[in-house]
Copies of this chain bind each other. A is one copy, B any other.
Amino acid sequence: MIDYNPKSWFTFIFRVHKADTFRKLLPLMLAIAAYSGVIVYLEVNVFKLSQNSHIKNISLVHTILSFVISMLLVFRTNTAYDRWWEARRVLGSLTNTCRNIAIKLKAINIGADQRAFFSTAIPMYADALRQHLRNERWDVASVPTIMVNPDEHVPNQIAGLLTEQVYSLHRDGVINREELLLIGPDLAALTDICGACERIKTTPIPFSYSVFIKKFIFFFTMTLPYGWSFSLGYLVVPLVAFVLFVLASLELIAEEIEDPFGYDANDLPVNRICTNIHKHVAELLKKNN
C-alpha cells in the first residue's frame, strides 16, 4: 500500500505515479487515438460525408447507453471496494485476535516456556497466513522451534498447535475452565479469518460480468468517433482517448484491488500488519510484565 497525504491535490493531479492508471493505459490510449484519427480522416477528407448522413446520429446510442455504462462501472467499483474493505476488516480482526489471545494468556500467568511458545506461534500464524495468501511456500527454517509441514495447509497446522497447547494446559490445570471458555473463541477466530481471506482471494467477480464490462467498454469507445467526427473533427482524437482513459481506469483499478493481498501498489499493508502483530504480542508477553 502506498502511504499518501490525501490533501495534497497538486501532486495528485500533475505527477504521474508508477501505479497511476494513466501510465498503464497510455499505449491503449495512443492506439485508440490513432484509430480515431483514421476514422475522422476517412469521414471528413476521403468520403466527405454530408451533415445529413445517418452516421452522424450514431451518438444517440451512446446517450441511451451512457447511463448503463456508468452504472455498471459504479457497480464494479463498489463491489471491488467492498471486497477490499472486507479484506481490510478481516486483517484488522487478525490483529485484534492476536492481541486478545496475548492479553488473556498474560493474565493467566502461564510458565516461561509457554510464554515463549505462544509469543513465537501467534505472530507465526500471521506470517504463515501472509505467505499462504501470496501462494509462497512456507520457509521451515524461519521458525526452527515450531515444525510444520510446508506441503500441507500451514495456517491450519499452526491453529491446530495453538489449540492443542491451550487444551492441554487446561487439562493440566494451568488454564482454568472459565479462562478456556474465554480464550477458545479467539483460537477458532483464527481459522475463520484464514477462510475469509481465502474466499476473497479465490473468488473474483463472476466471469460473465468481467467479460461483459470489458466488451461493453470496448464497443462503446470504438464506435464513438463515427458520430463525433461530424461535430468535433480532429478534436475526436484526444477526446476519445480521454473517454477511454476514464472508463478503462475504473475497470483497471477495480481489477487491481480485487485481490488485495499481493504486492500491487493499492494492495493492503499486509507486511505492516504482520510487523505490528510481532511487536504487540512481544510487548504483551515479554518477561518483566
A137 at the interface (CB under 8 A from B): no
**Residues of chain A whose beta carbon lies under 8 Å from any beta carbon of chain B:** 1-2, 4, 6-7, 9, 12-13, 17, 19-22, 54-55, 57-68, 70-75, 77-79, 81, 84-85, 88-89, 92-93, 95-96, 99-100, 103-104, 106-108, 152-153, 156-157, 159-160, 163-164, 166-168, 170-171, 176-182, 184-186, 188, 191-192, 194-196, 198-199, 202-212, 214-216, 218-219, 228, 231-235, 239, 242-243, 246-247, 249-250, 253, 255-258, 265-266, 268-269, 280, 283-284, 289
Q: Are A212 and B249 in contact (CB under 8 A)?
A: yes
In the complex, chain B residues whose CB is within 8 Å of the CB of A269: 202-203
In the complex, chain B residues whose CB is within 8 Å of the CB of A104: 163, 188
Considering the chains assembled together, what is the distance between the CA atoms of A232 and B58 in angstroms?
7
Considering the chains assembled together, what is the distance between the CA atoms of A243 and B223 in angstroms?
13
In the complex, chain B residues whose CB is within 8 Å of the CB of A228: 57, 60
Smallest distance from the beta carbon of A158 to chain B beta carbons, Å? 10
In the complex, chain B residues whose CB is within 8 Å of the CB of A210: 4, 6, 12
Smallest distance from the beta carbon of A223 to chain B beta carbons, Å? 8
Q: Are A58 and B239 in contact (CB under 8 A)?
A: yes
In the complex, chain B residues whose CB is within 8 Å of the CB of A93: 192, 195
In the complex, chain B residues whose CB is within 8 Å of the CB of A57: 228, 231-232, 235
Q: Are B182 and A182 in contact (CB under 8 A)?
A: no
Smallest distance from the beta carbon of A87 to chain B beta carbons, Å? 10
Q: Are B156 and A214 in contact (CB under 8 A)?
A: no
Smallest distance from the beta carbon of A239 to chain B beta carbons, Å? 5
Which of B1, B7, B54, B255 sits near A7, CB closer than 8 Å? B255
Q: Are A235 and B182 in contact (CB under 8 A)?
A: no
In the complex, chain B residues whose CB is within 8 Å of the CB of A194: 96
Considering the chains assembled together, what is the distance between the CA atoms of A142 and B212 in angstroms?
40
Which of B103, B192, B208 sits near A163, CB closer than 8 Å? B103
Q: Are A284 and B60 in contact (CB under 8 A)?
A: no
Which of B64, B108, B232 sits near A66, CB closer than 8 Å? B64
| Known A-B contacts A93-B195, A195-B95, A211-B20; A258 and B6 likewise in contact (beta carbons under 8 Å) | yes
Which of B157, B171, B178, B203 sits near A184, CB closer than 8 Å? B178
Q: Are A60 and B106 in contact (CB under 8 A)?
A: no
